[in-house]
Amino acid sequence: MANIIDGKLISTQIKDELKEKVANLKKEGKQITLAVIQVGNDPASTVYVGNKKKACEYIGINSLAYELPEDITEESLLKTIEELNNDDKVNGILVQLPLPKHIDEDKVIKTIAPEKDVDGFHPSSVGALLIGQEGFLPCTPAGIIQLIKRSGISIEGKECVVIGRSNIVGKPMGVLLLRENGTVTITHSKTKNLKKVCKRADILVVAIGKPKMIDASYVKDGAVVIDVGIHRNADNKLCGDVDFDSVEKVASYITPVPGGVGPMTIAMLMQNCVNSVR
């Protein structure tokens, strides 16, 4: 039976470390402020935004909420971002995605000043990540690296397979594992013989967006399996991209859903906010 990687516990440890840092910064007269912009009232986005605000409160970060109407024009949204870029009291800007279809997400991301890009999605942040320069790291993959390292698992020299090549998870995940000296393969929907490729992984990161698709037949004995997926099944219960019951029998370590990667994404957002004052 696999060891369970407790993302809730590890994320709380990180948030407690950050809380102390924020208290010390306050003593130096530095207050951190995160502006959170939500357009429309998609229920999932409202939950994510609410969790981010709660995390800010816990750590001692000021959060400013911008709840903008669904039919806001792109121009008006960009103007709000520009104003926040120019506001010295604001350290980080987060625009909750996805945005309504009439708004160009790429344009919005590019408008956020790179020094306030706490989500790590701006092309400057992505470029810095790729060439190993300092910059904001995308929260979900950065959180996964923390989960692995804080569980005492070494990445160096390991065969790492990532399923999925999205800009927010798969691609940056591959780069971060490479940075840790893993030997990395990124797979996607056109990959031939996915099972065979996955079977060679010492560390398998699954971000495929398909409920419970990855079962034990994709996993090498003793592999570390990280499940990024979040889905709600017919009984309204959360599940991941990995078939937990099947995979926990062969893996050495596994992340559960919920309570694995999810809480780490917010902890790393908080970390980026703290780093934004430096």
Size of the chain in residues: 278
Query: What is d(CA 174, CA 185) in angstroms, rounded to the nearest whole number?
Result: 7
DSSP three-state, residue 69 = coil
In Å, how far are 6, 70, 246, 249 from 2, measured between CA atoms? 12, 44, 11, 6
- Whether residue 52 lies in the annotated active site: yes
For the beta sheet containing 159-163, the strands, ordered from the edge strand earlier in sequence to the opposite edge, are 3-4, 253-254, 224-227, 203-206, 159-163, 183-187
Query: What is d(CA 52, CA 187) in angstroms, rounded to the nearest whole number?
Result: 31
Give the nearest distance from C-beta 129 to ligand NDP in angstroms. 16
Q: Where are the beta strands (DSSP E) in 145-274?
A: 159-163, 183-187, 203-206, 224-227, 231-232, 238-239, 253-254
Site string for ligand NDP, 20-39 (x = CB under 6 A): --------------------
- Whether residue 96 lies in the annotated active site: yes
- Whether residue 119 lies in the annotated active site: yes
Give the nearest distance from C-beta 186 to ligand NDP in angstroms. 9
Query: What is d(CA 90, CA 258) in angstroms, rounded to the nearest whole number?
Result: 32
Nearer to ligand NDP, 80 or 212 (CB): 212
Nearer to ligand NDP, 34 or 268 (CB): 268
Query: Which residues from 170-209 bind ligand NDP, rule CB under 6 A?
Result: 170, 187-191, 194, 207-209
Site string for ligand NDP, 129-168 (x = CB under 6 A): -----------x----------------------xxxx-x
> Of the listed 38, 96, 146, 271, which one is catalytic?
96
Nearer to ligand NDP, 85 or 259 (CB): 259
Give the nearest distance from C-beta 93 to ligand NDP in angstroms. 19
Tokens of 233: 């099944």
Site string for ligand NDP, 215-244 (x = CB under 6 A): -------------xxx----------x---
Q: Is the dihedral of CA 90, 50, 53, 258 positive or negative?
A: negative
Applying CB under 6 A, the residues found at the interface with ligand NDP are: 140, 163-166, 168-170, 187-191, 194, 207-210, 228-230, 241, 261-262, 265
Active-site amino acid positions: 52, 96, 119
